[in-house]
């Protein structure tokens, strides 16, 4: 059995085959921005010559948002130990997005330098596993566009204000959503308001499929 390799389609596609030589590969997920759709299909045809299965997953829109969503989809289908990410195949933006998504999901990842694969120091620990069910429930009821008062949020998630405050602010022993930088807070007229941060929004996009799988 080989790895399921996740690879963005960019401007260094030769790096995909360097990785295949280093890591036994069963399947390749080619994540392609819409502009690189032609290159993705050409690459899939080459993989077919090596009898390696592939699947093209197209990103139409924001690269970072799409990358986190697709990683969430893939992680819902496979054991994390069977996945590895080749970040060397993408352009600068897709490489950055793939590396960020790999870090958030705790997936093994590697780059390529001088035709040699190089493992990257990503912790084998999913960011999502650091968040309790209640914290994730809170995130799912927040927006990245508008602030919500704690009173409104309390009604939505059926939690007391004090319990909400604990999950948001944490304590000396456990980090809250604020420490994870997943939310933004502001005070106004003696009331506290909260919304998703950009990081919180990205993580939530990648979590949906994982959450559905657990239910």
| Number of Cβ atoms within 10 Å of the Cβ of 184 | 17
Instruction: Give which of 84, 99, 7, 3 is closest to 44, Cα–Cα.
Output: 7
Q: Which domains does the chain have, with CATH numbers?
A: 3-119 (3.40.50.10770), 131-214 (1.10.10.10)
Q: Examine the pLDDT at 200 and tell me if it is beyond 90.
A: no
Please, what is the end-to-end C-alpha distance for the chain in angstroms?
A: 28
Q: What is the C-alpha to C-alpha distance for residues 150 and 138, in angstroms, rounded to an integer?
A: 11
Estimate to the nearest angstrom the gap between the alpha carbon of 214 and the chain centroid: 17
Q: Of 34-38, 40-44, 58-62, 128-132, which range is least confident?
A: 128-132
Q: What is the pLDDT of residues 16-29, one digit of tens each?
A: 999 999 999 999 99
Provide the token pair at 184. Answer: 């933004």
- Give the span between the Cα atoms of 36 and 31, in whole angstroms: 9
- Residue-wise pLDDT for 138-169, tens only, equals 998 998 888 999 999 999 999 999 999 999 98
Which carries the bigger pLDDT value, residue 16 or residue 206? 16
CB atoms within 10 A of CB 119: 12
Q: Could you give the 3-state DSSP secondary structure of residue 85?
A: strand
Closest CA to 62 of 97, 30, 109, 103: 97
Instruction: Sheet containing 25-33: give its strands across.
Output: 53-59, 25-33, 3-8, 83-86, 108-113, 116-119
- What are the tokens at 109? 């990842």
C-alpha to C-alpha distance for 163 and 155, rounded to whole angstroms: 12
Asked if the model's pLDDT at residue 213 lies above 60, the reply is no
Q: By C-alpha distance, which of 139, 78, 69 is closest to 104? A: 69
pLDDT above 90 (res 30): yes
pLDDT in the model for residue 215: 46
> Does the pLDDT of residue 5 top 90, yes or no?
yes
* Residue 126 banded pLDDT, cuts 50, 70, 90: low
């Amino acid at each position: 059995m080989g790895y399921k390799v996740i690879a963005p389609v960019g401007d260094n596609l030769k790096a995909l085959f360097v990785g295949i030589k280093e890591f036994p590969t069963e399947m390749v997920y080619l994540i392609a921005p819409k502009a690189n759709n032609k290159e993705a299909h050409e690459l899939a045809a080459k993989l077919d010559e090596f009898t390696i299965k592939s699947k093209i997953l197209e990103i139409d829109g924001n690269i970072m948002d799409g990358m986190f969503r697709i990683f969430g989809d893939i992680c819902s289908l496979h054991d994390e130990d069977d996945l590895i990410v080749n970040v060397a195949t993408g352009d600068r933006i897709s490489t950055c997005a793939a590396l960020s998504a790999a870090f958030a999901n705790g997936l093994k990842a590697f780059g390529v330098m001088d035709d040699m694969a190089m493992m990257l120091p990503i912790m084998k620990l999913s960011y999502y596993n650091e968040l309790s069910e209640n914290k994730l429930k809170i995130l799912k009821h927040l927006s990245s566009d508008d602030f919500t008062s704690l009173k409104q949020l309390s009604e939505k998630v059926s939690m007391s204000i004090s319990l909400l405050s604990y999950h948001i602010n944490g304590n000396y022993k456990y980090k809250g959503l604020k420490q994870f930088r997943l939310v933004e807070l502001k005070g106004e007229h003696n009331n506290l308001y909260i919304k998703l941060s950009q990081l919180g929004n990205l993580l939530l996009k990648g979590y949906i499929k994982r959450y559905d799988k657990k239910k």
